Amino acid sequence: MILPQPNLLHIATRLASPKLTLAGFALLGAAAIAVYQLGDSAAAWLAGPLLLLAVNLIGAVASNGVFRRQLPLLVFHLALIALVLLAAISRLTYLKGAADVTEGTAFGGLWRQVAGPLHPDRLNEVQFINEGFDISYKPGPLRDLTLNRVRWIADDGRERVEQIADNRPLVSHGYRFYPSSNKGFAPVLLWLPKEGVPVLGAVHLPSFPVNRFTQSRDWRPAGAKSDIWIMLDVPEDLIPADRASRFNAPQQYPLVLRRGDLRREMRPGERVSLPDGDVEYRELRTWMGYSVFYDWTLPWMLSACVVAVLSMGAHFWNKFAAKPWNREN
């Protein structure tokens, strides 16, 4: 017996099944809950339900004659298909991460990142230097405007200087760097081991002022036999609560260094001898934390949204202009 071959229309009708729509939304809901529970690492799971919904919508558009009679409605649904597909692709190729960069140094990578499985890693092409920031505070203290000066190599290879801010990221090679509320002090220390090569490092103390009572960190440079505990002794009201102020480095306050029974207060330029080497406190700088985001689909998604809304508006306009609301059919 020869079975009839299912034609394309039949397949499209099957794909347009409302049951598939419900299944797609149920899976999308489950994936959204997974993102809630597991965080961004589950974001790629959204791709499956979105692709399923896109296929379902393609089936509906292909099998329903109303779309061939009403052009704006067809355009709206095609834009919606493009949007759903782009959202799915976005979850496979995006990146979200965080980086901390010491004042006066170059970006050297992310300390935390979540990326889609197909993310085209081009972060090593990004080159910028954090040239310091200026943050104003309102009484509270409440962080107000954050301005961060960056020197960077643009995609065309030219060097540029830009002031980025809360709503204005640095965009390089598709990666968007937003200055975050995460920032603090970074004492620059020179470690001169008894054996081995000297190490110059900046220790990023916990974010300030949110951790103003715990401005300390353990540091173990290469060649050191144990951790060196360092603390910046800053006054509680460095950023006062009762008046407007700015973020400023407490240059006049000492850096406390402790290892075992040894405790020393150091000023910039001072050196302390330890059994396995010397530590020299060079200067106090700041560090800035960045939220990093990559998604090449953004302009395309926005375009699809604009087309969708315009065509939806045109569809309703045509439909409602044809007949007043208070007239019978």
Partner 1 sequence: MELELKLLWTAIVLYVLGGSLAVIGVVFRKRPERSILGLLLLGWFMHTATLTLRWIRLDHGPFMTMFEILSSNVWSLVLVFMIAYWRIKAIRPAAAVVMPILFVMMGWLMLSSPGEAHFPQSFRTPWLFIHIGFGKVFLGAVLVAVGLSIVIQSRRTLRGLACFQSLPEDARLDELAYRFMALGLVFNSLMLIAGAIWAQDAWGRYWAWDPLETWAFLTWLVLVFYLHLRSTYRIAPRSGSLLVLAVFVAAFLTFFGVPFISTAPHKGAV
User: How near is the Cβ of 264 to partner 1 at its closest, in Å?
Assistant: 40
User: How near is the Cβ of 147 to partner 1 at its closest, in Å?
Assistant: 10
Q: Is 100 in contact with 208 (CB distance < 8 Å)? A: no
Q: What is the separation, in whole angstroms, between the first and last Cα of the chain?
A: 51
Nearer to partner 1, 77 or 259 (CB): 77
Sorted by sequence, the CB contacts under 8 Å of residue 184 that are 6+ apart come out as 204, 205, 206, 207, 208, 211, 215, 286, 287
Nearer to partner 1, 157 or 324 (CB): 324
User: How near is the Cβ of 142 to partner 1 at its closest, in Å?
Assistant: 5
**Gap between the Cα atoms of 270 and 80, Å rounded:** 64
- Footprint of partner 1 (CB under 8 A): 25, 32, 35-36, 96, 138, 140, 142-146, 165-169, 176, 178, 291-293, 295, 298, 301-302, 305-306, 308-309, 312-313, 316, 320, 325-326, 328
Continuous H helices in 200-284 = none
Nearer to partner 1, 146 or 286 (CB): 146
Nearer to partner 1, 56 or 215 (CB): 56
Nearer to partner 1, 36 or 124 (CB): 36
Tell me the three state secondary structure of residue 45.
helix
Q: Is 245 in contact with 162 (CB distance < 8 Å)? A: no
Sorted by sequence, the CB contacts under 8 Å of residue 224 that are 6+ apart come out as 191, 193, 274, 276, 277
User: How near is the Cβ of 298 to partner 1 at its closest, in Å?
Assistant: 7
User: How near is the Cβ of 47 to partner 1 at its closest, in Å?
Assistant: 14
